[in-house]
Chain A
């Protein structure tokens, strides 16, 4: 077994310790004293530099492991191929598009797609990319040109650090269909009819997507702020956006006007 330095959350505190990592299990030392078989891990997710694993035996126990990227990668390489998950061999391109810009150096990688409870992982010898289901924005069964032939692929759009990222998965059509159905089913709550927003509402939503602020949107669409507020309300009610900042417009009082007048005088004198 190989020992790696980590911090593990135990009784709401982070314990500095060394984790023993073997081929099929890992040992969490005292005071946790727990042996975890990789095949008993039912979920794996990652947030920043914390690997979150759920171990299912009689009950479900969640362990949070904090470490540097190199150590976490070592753990993921051991856990992901063996953990309790739906696994399919595939080629993937991740990321293929980031923020609407095609990644020039993006290439198809041979590896596997590991589907766990909270998301999917793209796993190859050098990459382990986590896509939480809660961040999946769109799934489409589409075609891409692969070695000169139009080929069936799945495009998965998801949010990563506020950027919209698209990844592609390529494998036999029957397997793609299974993956597509699974992803569609687990993200069903996000489905909409497409008729909830009218033309101007959709334009506002697209401008928000592009990073425009309220002032820019009002100017671009030539709409008063009250109308924009109503559209924002509609978008918020539908759960399509969230409020990140509330700005205020202010008007000077007579005291403020006097202050500015005096300040101007002192500058010109």
Chain B
């Protein structure tokens, strides 16, 4: 079970991911609504894993991922985005993402991916 930072610009998606993670027995380290806040919260909270939306205001998820990786090369980040933006996969993986989930997603699969990344 891990301590997880949820990064998404919509409250609805943050709440949904939070609920899914709770049902899997994980705890929530914190939440962030954009890339800049994500980097700040990562430094402050030192979570075990980050779920990171890609399309966000101020700083997008890919830039935030790079920022987090610059602070902690071992950071475990799962990218999260909408259907049709899967071409971002290569860029995200190249930038150090450990996993990738596509909205809309199903709870058991998300928990499986979180478990796999935490164990990696």
Residues of A within 8 A of B (CB): 97-102, 140, 142-145, 150, 155, 163-164, 166, 203, 206-207, 209-212, 216, 220
**Would you call A211 and B16 a contact (CB within 8 A)?**
no
Extra 14 A-B pairs, beta carbons < 8 Å, given A100-B102, A101-B110, A102-B86: A98-B109, A99-B105, A99-B106, A99-B110, A101-B99, A101-B101, A101-B112, A102-B101, A143-B87, A145-B87, A150-B87, A210-B20, A212-B19, A220-B16
A99 to B103, CA, bound (A): 9
**Chain A CB within 8 A of B90 CB:** yes
Does residue B108 face the partner (Cβ distance < 8 Å to A)?
A: yes
Contact partners of A220 in chain B: CB under 8 A: 15-16, 19
Known: A99-B109, A100-B109, A101-B110. A209 touches B104 (CB 8 A): yes
If A145-B90, A220-B15, A220-B19 touch, whether A209 touches B102 (CB-CB below 8 Å) is: no
Q: Are A144 and B87 in contact (CB under 8 A)?
A: yes
Prevailing SS type, chain A contact patch: strand
Cβ distance B101 to chain A, nearest Cβ, rounded Å? 5
Contact string against A for B residues 91-115, beta-carbon threshold 8 Å, 1 for contact and 0 otherwise: 0000000011111111111101100
A102 near B87: Cβ-Cβ < 8 Å: no
Bound CA span A212–B15, Å: 11
Interchain CB contact under 8 A, A101 and B90 = no
* A-B contacts, CB under 8 A, total: 70
What B residues does A206 contact at CB under 8 A? 16, 104
CB neighbours of A102 from chain B (8 A)? 86, 89, 99-102
Interface-central residue, B101, B105, B113, by most chain A CB under 10 Å: B105
How many chain B residues touch the partner (CB < 8 A)?
25
Verify A211–B87 contact, CB threshold 8 A: no
The 5 tightest CB contacts between A and B, nearest first, are: A100-B105, A99-B109, A211-B107, A99-B106, A102-B100
Residues in A whose Cβ lies below 8 Å from that of B105: 99-101, 210
Q: Across the interface, which residues of A come within 8 angstroms of B104, CB to CB?
A: 100, 164, 206, 209-210
A101, B113: Cβ atoms closer than 8 Å: yes
Which residues of chain B have C-beta atoms less than 8 A from A209's C-beta?
Answer: 104, 106
**B residues in contact with A155, CB < 8 Å:** 83
Q: Is the CB of A100 within 8 A of B103?
A: yes
Q: Whole-angstrom distance between the alpha carbons of A216 and B15 in the complex?
A: 10
- A163: contacting residue among B86, B89, B109, B113, CB under 8 A: B109
Are A203 and B12 in touch, CB under 8 angstroms? yes
Verify B108–A97 contact, CB threshold 8 A.
Answer: no
With both beta carbons as reference points, the residue of chain B lying nearest to A99 in the complex is identified as B109
CB contacts (< 8 Å) of A145 on chain B: these are 87, 90
Instruction: Determine whether B84 belongs to the interface, using a CB cutoff of 8 Å to chain A.
Output: yes
Residue-wise, chain B 2-28 has the 8 Å CB interface mask toward A (1 for contact) of: 000000000010011001100000000
Chain B 44-78, CB-CB to A under 8 Å as 1, else 0, gives 00000000000000000000000000000000000
Q: Which residue of A lies closest to B102 (CB)?
A: A100
CA distance A140 to B82 in the complex (A): 14
Query: Distance in Å from the Cβ of B99 to the closest Cβ of chain A?
Result: 7
Nearest-CB distance from B36 to chain A (Å)? 26
Q: How far is the CB of A74 from chain B (nearest CB, A)?
A: 31
Contacts of B101 in A (CB 8 A): 100-102
In the complex the two chains form, is B107's CB within 8 Å of A210's CB? yes
Residue of A nearest to B98 (CB): A104
Contact B16 A210 (CB under 8 A): yes
How many whole Å from A249's CB to the nearest CB in chain B? 21
